[in-house]
Structure 1
Amino acid sequence: MASHTINFITWNVNGLKQNRDQKFQELQNADIVFLQETHIGVRDKQIEDYKKDWVVFYTKYTSSSRGTAILVRKSLDFECISHDKDNRGAYVVLKCKLAGQKYTLVSVYNHHTDAKTLDNLSRYLQKMTTGLLVIGGDFNTILNPFIDKKNNSNKIANKRNQKNLHLFVDKFMKSLQLADVWRRMNPVKQDFTFYIRDRPVSRLDYFFIPDECMWRVRSCEIMNSRSGELKDHQPVSLEINCVYTEPLLIDQTQLHFKIFNSKKLLLTDETSSLQCEESSSAVSEVDIVSAVQSLQVSDTVRPDDIPVSFYKDNIRDVIPYIKMLYDGIHMGEVNCSELYFQDPQDDIPHFFNADYLIIATILARRLDDFLKSQSKGTIKDTAIVMITPKTVCTEAMLCCLKDEIEDSHSVLYQDFLIVQNLLRDSKSLECVGCPLKPVLTALKLKSCALKLCKNLENYAVHVFKTNVIICIPSEDLDKMHAMESSNNEEEYDIMTLFRGQSVEGNESASEDYDGLSDDTEENCLGYSNTLFEDSVGSIEHEGKSKSIESDGRTTMYAVVTLEESEEVMVTASNWLSEDKKQCYWPPYKSSEKFIEAVQKGLAPQTGEKSWEKLAVLFHEEYGTYEEAKEKQKELNEQTEQAATAVNQVTETCPLFPGPSLGFSQNASGSKVFSIAVLAGTTLEIQGTKRKRESRDLNISAKSNSEMAILNMAKKKMNEVNVRLQNISSTDRTTNELKNTILDAIAKINEMEKDKRRKETIGVFGKTGEGKSSLLNAVLGLEGLLPSGSLGACTAVITQVEANLEDSEYKAEIELISKEEWEREIASKDERTDTDNERIIAVYGADADKKSLEELKKDAKYAEIDHFLSAGKKIISHTEVFDFLHDVKRNIEQSEYNPGGWYWPLVKSVTIKIPDRQELLEHIVLFDVPGTGDCNKIRNDLWKSKVRECSSVWIVNGINRAISSIEPWSIMEHCMQDLGPGGQCKTINFICTRTDDINIKEYQRSARPSGDQFTSGKNLKTACIHHRNKTAKDSVKNKFETMKSKDFRRFTADVFTVSSKAYFDADLQMDQNETEIPKLQDLLKNTNKSIRRELTRDYVNQAKGVLFFIQSIKLDTNEGMAKLKATVCKDYYESLEKALKELNSQFNSHYKIIEQCFSKGVEKSVEQCVSTTKPVIASVKPSDKTLQALCKNKGYYWPKNKDAPVDLNKCLAKHIYENIDEEFNLIFPVDSKIKTGKSVQEQIDKFSIIQNGTVYAPSSMLYHIQNFMKTEETKVKTFLKSDVVQRKINIYSLIQTTIQDQMTAGYKKAAEKRGLGAMGKRETTIIETIELLKDSMFKDAKIQFLKEFKSVTNYIGKTLKTELSKSVERSFSQSSKASLMDVSTEIETLETLSEHIAEI
Structure 2
Amino acid sequence: MASSRPEFSGAEWEDINVSSSAKKKRKLDKYRAFELEEQESLKTYESMESRIRKVVNIMYEKLTASLPQENMSDEIKYLTNRLLTLKTKSSLDPIYIGLFGGTGAGKSTLFNAIVEHKFFLPVSGSEACTSCIVQVNSNQGKNYEAKIHLLSREEWNKELKNLVELVKKPEEEEEEGEEEEEEGEEEGDVGEAVQKLRALYGKDAEARSYEDLLSAKLLVNIPASKWIQLKAAQAKELSEKLDPYIRCHNDKDVEEPAQDEVGTKMRLWPLIKYVEVTIPKSDVIPEGVVFMDIPGTGDYNSKRDEMWKESINKCSVIWVISKIERVVGDKVHEVLLTESIKAYQGGMCSDIALVVTKSDQLHLDEYLRERKQNNKPIETKHDAILERNTTVKETKSRGMKKKFKRTLPSDSEILHKPDLVYTVSATEYWQEKHLTKEETEIPKLREYVRNIYLKEKKQLLMDYVTKALGIVLLAENFNSTQDMVNHYQQSGLETFVEEKIKALEKEIEKCFAQLEQPLNEGVKQAKLSHQKAFFQLLTQDTGYQGFHRTLKAVCQNNGVYASRIFARIDLNSALAQPIYDKINPMFANIFRIQKGTRASLKPCLDMFKVSVQEKIRDVGKRSTVANHNCKLKFFIEETNIILSTLEREILTKKLDIYQSLPLSIQSDLQPYYKDAAKTQGRQSCQKMQNILLENIERETQGGMFERAKEKMKMKLQELKDTIMTNLRKDISTMLKLALSHREELSERLPDFQNEYSEIDRIHVALQRM
Distance 1:877 1:1188 in 2: 40
Distance 2:209 2:101 in 1: 34
Q: State the Cα distance separating 1:639 from its structure 2 match.
A: 4.7
1:863 equivalent to 2:219? Answer yes
Q: What is the identity percentage for the equivalent residue pairs of Structure 1 and Structure 2?
A: 21
SS in 2 for 1:1345: helix
More helix per residue: 1 or 2?
A: 2
Structure 2 regions of 5+ residues with no counterpart? 1-12, 171-184, 255-265
1:1226 equivalent to 2:596? Answer no
The 1:566–1:931 alpha-carbon spacing in structure 2 relative to 1, beyond 3 Å, is: closer
1:708 equivalent to 2:47? Answer yes
Task: Identify the residue that residue 263 of structure 2 maps to in structure 1.
Answer: none
Q: What one-letter code is carried by the residue in structure 1 that aligns with 2:466?
A: N
More strand per residue: 1 or 2?
A: 1
Indicate which of 579, 586, 604 corresponds to 1:1215.
Answer: 579
User: Does the CA contact (< 8 Å) of 1:1208 and 1:1298 recur in 2?
Assistant: yes
Alignment of 1:552-701 (within 5 A): 567-569=15-17, 639=24, 643=28
SS in 2 for 1:782: coil
Task: Identify the residue that residue 481 of structure 1 maps to in structure 2.
Answer: none
SS in 2 for 1:1232: coil
Task: Identify the residue that residue 714 of structure 2 maps to in structure 1.
Answer: 1346
Task: Identify the residue that residue 1189 of structure 1 maps to in structure 2.
Answer: 554
Distance 1:979 1:1304 in 2: 32
User: Does the CA contact (< 8 Å) of 2:512 and 2:590 recur in 1?
Assistant: no
User: Does the CA contact (< 8 Å) of 1:814 and 1:906 recur in 2?
Assistant: yes
Q: State the Cα distance separating 1:645 from its structure 2 match.
A: 11
SS in 1 for 2:406: coil
User: Does the CA contact (< 8 Å) of 1:1180 and 1:1186 recur in 2?
Assistant: no
User: Does the CA contact (< 8 Å) of 2:149 and 2:227 recur in 1?
Assistant: yes
Indicate which of 110, 131, 136 corresponds to 1:774.
Answer: 110
1:783 equivalent to 2:144? Answer no
Indicate which of 294, 314, 317 corresponds to 1:951.
Answer: 317
1:1151 equivalent to 2:513? Answer yes
Q: State the Cα distance separating 1:1391 from its structure 2 match.
A: 3.8
SS in 1 for 2:316: strand
The 1:987–1:1331 alpha-carbon spacing in structure 2 relative to 1, beyond 3 Å, is: same
1:744 equivalent to 2:744? Answer no
Alignment of 1:1067-1078 (within 5 A): 1067=433, 1069-1078=435-444
Task: Identify the residue that residue 678 of structure 1 maps to in structure 2.
Answer: none
1:1364 equivalent to 2:721? Answer no
The 1:846–1:1381 alpha-carbon spacing in structure 2 relative to 1, beyond 3 Å, is: closer
The 1:646–1:867 alpha-carbon spacing in structure 2 relative to 1, beyond 3 Å, is: closer
User: Does the CA contact (< 8 Å) of 1:804 and 1:917 recur in 2?
Assistant: no
Q: C-alpha deviations, 1:463-522, integer Å up to 9, x for none?
A: xxxxxxxxxxxxxxxxxxxxxxxxxxxxxxxxxxxxxxxxxxxxxxxxxxxxxxxxxxxx
1:1125 equivalent to 2:486? Answer yes
User: Does the CA contact (< 8 Å) of 1:764 and 1:967 recur in 2?
Assistant: no
Aligned CA-pair RMSD? 3.8
1:1142 equivalent to 2:509? Answer no
Structure with more contact order per residue of length (Cα contacts < 8 Å, sep ≥ 6): 2
SS in 1 for 2:420: strand
User: Does the CA contact (< 8 Å) of 1:955 and 1:989 recur in 2?
Assistant: yes
User: Does the CA contact (< 8 Å) of 1:785 and 1:794 recur in 2?
Assistant: no
Distance 2:44 2:117 in 1: 28
Q: State the Cα distance separating 1:1298 from its structure 2 match.
A: 0.8
Distance 2:624 2:447 in 1: 43
Q: State the Cα distance separating 1:785 from its structure 2 match.
A: 1.7
Q: State the Cα distance separating 1:967 from its structure 2 match.
A: 0.6
Q: What one-letter code is carried by the residue in structure 2 that aligns with 1:710?
A: E
Indicate which of 960, 965, 971 corresponds to 2:337.
Answer: 971
Indicate which of 876, 879, 885 corresponds to 2:234.
Answer: 879
Distance 1:949 1:910 in 2: 16
Distance 1:1011 1:1342 in 2: 59
Q: State the Cα distance separating 1:1336 from its structure 2 match.
A: 2.1
Q: What one-letter code is carried by the residue in structure 2 that aligns with 1:1207?
A: L
The 1:853–1:942 alpha-carbon spacing in structure 2 relative to 1, beyond 3 Å, is: closer
User: Does the CA contact (< 8 Å) of 1:1128 and 1:1371 recur in 2?
Assistant: no
Distance 1:824 1:968 in 2: 28
Q: State the Cα distance separating 1:779 from its structure 2 match.
A: 1.6
User: Does the CA contact (< 8 Å) of 1:644 and 1:702 recur in 2?
Assistant: no
Alignment of 1:996-1395 (within 5 A): 996-1006=361-371, 1012-1013=377-378, 1019-1042=380-403, 1045-1046=406-407, 1050-1051=414-415, 1053-1064=420-431, 1067=433, 1069-1113=435-479, 1115=481, 1121=483, 1123-1128=484-489, 1130-1178=492-540, 1180-1181=544-545, 1182-1201=547-566, 1203-1228=567-592, 1231-1247=593-609, 1248-1249=612-613, 1250=615, 1252-1255=618-621, 1259-1333=626-700, 1334-1375=702-743, 1382=752, 1385-1395=755-765
User: Does the CA contact (< 8 Å) of 1:568 and 1:636 recur in 2?
Assistant: no
Distance 2:493 2:372 in 1: 73
User: Does the CA contact (< 8 Å) of 1:921 and 1:1087 recur in 2?
Assistant: no
Q: State the Cα distance separating 1:702 from its structure 2 match.
A: 9.2
Indicate which of 302, 305, 312 corresponds to 1:939.
Answer: 305
1:992 equivalent to 2:357? Answer yes
Distance 2:406 2:525 in 1: 20
Larger Rg: 1
Q: What one-letter code is carried by the residue in structure 1 that aligns with 2:52?
A: A
1:1397 equivalent to 2:762? Answer no
Distance 1:1364 1:918 in 2: 46
Distance 1:645 1:720 in 2: 30
Distance 1:856 1:1140 in 2: 62
User: Does the CA contact (< 8 Å) of 2:197 and 2:206 recur in 1?
Assistant: no
User: Does the CA contact (< 8 Å) of 1:773 and 1:1059 recur in 2?
Assistant: yes
Distance 2:300 2:120 in 1: 21
User: Does the CA contact (< 8 Å) of 2:144 and 2:277 recur in 1?
Assistant: no
TM-score, with structure 2 as normaliser: 0.82
The 1:916–1:1240 alpha-carbon spacing in structure 2 relative to 1, beyond 3 Å, is: farther
Q: C-alpha deviations, 1:1163-1184, integer Å up to 9, x for none?
A: 4344433442333444522222
The 1:645–1:1394 alpha-carbon spacing in structure 2 relative to 1, beyond 3 Å, is: farther
Distance 1:1359 1:1308 in 2: 47
Distance 2:605 2:139 in 1: 36
Indicate which of 760, 764, 767 corresponds to 2:100.
Answer: 764
Distance 1:1340 1:1013 in 2: 57
Distance 1:1010 1:1335 in 2: 61
Q: What one-letter code is carried by the residue in structure 1 that aligns with 2:207?
A: K
Task: Identify the residue that residue 824 of structure 1 maps to in structure 2.
Answer: 162
User: Does the CA contact (< 8 Å) of 1:1312 and 1:1320 recur in 2?
Assistant: yes
The 1:717–1:641 alpha-carbon spacing in structure 2 relative to 1, beyond 3 Å, is: farther
SS in 2 for 1:960: coil
Task: Identify the residue that residue 916 of structure 1 maps to in structure 2.
Answer: 282
User: Does the CA contact (< 8 Å) of 1:976 and 1:982 recur in 2?
Assistant: no
Q: What one-letter code is carried by the residue in structure 2 that aligns with 1:1397?
A: Q
SS in 2 for 1:928: strand
1:847 equivalent to 2:204? Answer yes
Distance 2:68 2:203 in 1: 81
Distance 2:147 2:422 in 1: 29
